[in-house]
Structure 1
Amino acid sequence: MSTPTTSATEQWRQRYARSVMNTFGTPERVLVRGQGARVWDADGVEYVDLLAGIAVNCLGHAHPALVEAVGAQMSTLGHVSNLFTTPAQVSLAEELAALTFPGAPAQDVRVFLANSGTEANEAALKITRLHGGPARPRVLALEQSFHGRTMGALALTHKASYREPFEPLPGGVEFIPAGDLEALRQAMGPDVAALVLEPIQGEAGVRELGPGYLEAARELTAQAGALLVLDEVQTGMGRTGGWMAHHALAPGVVPDVVTLAKGLGGGIPVGAVVASGPAADLLGPGQHGTTFGGNPVACAAALAVIRTMRSEGLLARAASLGERWSADLAGLPGVTEVRGRGLLRGVGLQERVGPSGEVAAELARRGFIVNAPRPDTLRLAPPLILSDAEADAFTDCLALVLAERLGTGGGSA
């Protein structure tokens, strides 16, 4: 009798479980290749990637412009310390200043380049401390917020299970109900250094804060002398159909600080803090630093992402496909609503469908990668190059999965 062979995926999973710290659990799938909006696992199974590394791979996988830019930069200069600068670093800072604060005088905007969203939010929190000083010890953040997992960013993140094992965290952060204008008014005062928020809360299930909230946040922080810090790590860089989500949600609002990452590098680790006005000059020599922030390869990747978004019209593409796809998905039996903007969408599910994690697992078995940030929500954050046919194929598949689950009272398909 022949001995059953272990699949390539299972072999890699076993090696993963033996060697990698158990911070994520052992993944069900091992991905080995990607092209466009599709990926393949170690057993050759193909999937449409509707998560894009959680809103990271904005150009999809193996995009020629990104491959060329990274290769060309690596062939000339791969890394220097921040004792030096490079043309790529300076050019990216100039681009981000103009994209984030359009119309602002160039001399009024400054950029700090980092490795990730959590590192960008760490730097932003330091800026709020320098602004506040002893007279302004309070920093306001929103319930259901997610700003990262390092200690400073974690202090701004609301979820108790993330926070409690690592307390005491950096002090002074207070959480107020998301979207509640009266709660914001009551909390704001002359002892507040900053209000930190996501224009659309991703981990909360892709939820906007409601009409007028960003405008009120800007007005109240200005009156109190506090900074307004917008975390656009997930929502920025074209994800929601504009360079920044707040440009569309509240066109008249000009924040003091914006943090970026995820789609900025198209898959290469890079983050940024972009500050305008007095906030741009708060961090001085020796007060913050990073070994890999501003790395020329990461900067070249980010510049390639920006150029490609312009040349391929991907902001308009994200907006138009997102609206059409959202309407299609909202009409499916079992869907309560579709939230979000552009190609960042939260698909709310009826309770009788069952847990969204089970739905996501069934969709993966049928060749579509999504995730479930909440028990009643699927999150879609695909590459901005997603085709109409790929989006429609997912709609058809989700319709079938939901119909099967509704037909069995919410049991497994």
Structure 2
Amino acid sequence: MTNALTLMSQTPLIDGHNDLPWQIRMKFNNQLNKVDLYTLQNTHTNIQKIREGRLAAQFWAAYVPCETQYKDAVRQTLEQIDVIHRMCKKYPEAFMFATSKKGYTVIHKEDIMDAFDQNKTASLIGVEGGHSLDSSLGTLRTMYQLGVRYLTLTHSCNTPWADNWLVDTVDEPSQHNGLSEFGKQLISEMNRIGMLIDLAHVSERVMNQVLDLSKAPIIFSHSSAYAVCPHKRNVPDDVLRKVRDKNGIVMVNFYNEHVTCSQIANLSQVADHFDHIKRVAGYHIIGFGGDYDGVNRVPEGLEDVSKYPALVAELLKRGWTSVEVKAALGENLLRVFGEVEKVRDSMTGIPPDDLPIPYEEVKNDCRTGYGYLVANSAASGWSFSSLITALIFTLNCLSV
């Protein structure tokens, strides 16, 4: 354990996914004034556990369920983004929001390292599920401005532009054969603005399409190895190799069902996923993506966020070198961030994509369509057929 703690004092542990903000929503309706994050119980995460676990940087999930799609997903997601910002403001001695700016360039590595040097947890935001965008590139860009640094393309439902992982089971049919044309637009726009593309929760077809399309490395923020546990939320070996070729990262999930495909798992079995990914694609693509507070079963020995050092110690026990461990702790993610930002900087001359998704792909009873020609006709009270009828009537009158 001493060697593990030494390495964690030298390199920041960056975790890809934690759902504490959703716990604050469900337990307190986002009333952060009623919460003491030092003593919060019945969660995997509080400030004391964070410090014991040497958690140096965390992507907090701005998650809302699929049932909000076509309803109030954007509002609820903005409220989750807000509560993450308020966490950082309420506990500035513990958290530091990671969106520093040097001129016009956002440099996340420097912000994360600054927080690490101050013994604070660098805090970043990931939006978990493309349904949170309501199929809007403007919403994507606005969320980036609010500090969102990755988007998980789907959760456990299809969006109007991408298929989710359930398509690879018998539970849900494919709607897009992967990505629609708008989905491909979105990948390009994420490259342009410098937002990380997260492939956790997508179908295998989407994984491969995005790996082919994206100019920047991608991430799996909380997924494990399919060969070790054949759950469709995990990453197949051929995709692991494509992630390696793309210089991306797979951040290993601790949820029991993704570790052992059963309700029971232990720390050693999580380490098996690290070993397998390293063997298939190399240590350069591995990270930590615990999924704490987003799951109801975690492995024995990894009961909460305080237990990260035990997993690091297990990797060292298995023969991982200090170079390999430090890469998995945080250096791999910092490299990915840097490469994503290089792609962003190379695209500065490209204007924002403002071509909207076709109206017929998103039309529903809870959505207005201002700006679309067909929607304008409907909004003014005239259907296409009624306009034709009125035109014929006018022509007949003129001919009299």
TM-score by length of 2: 0.28
Bigger Rg, structure 1 or 2: 2
Answer 1 or 2: which has greater strand percent. Answer: 1
TM-score by length of 1: 0.27
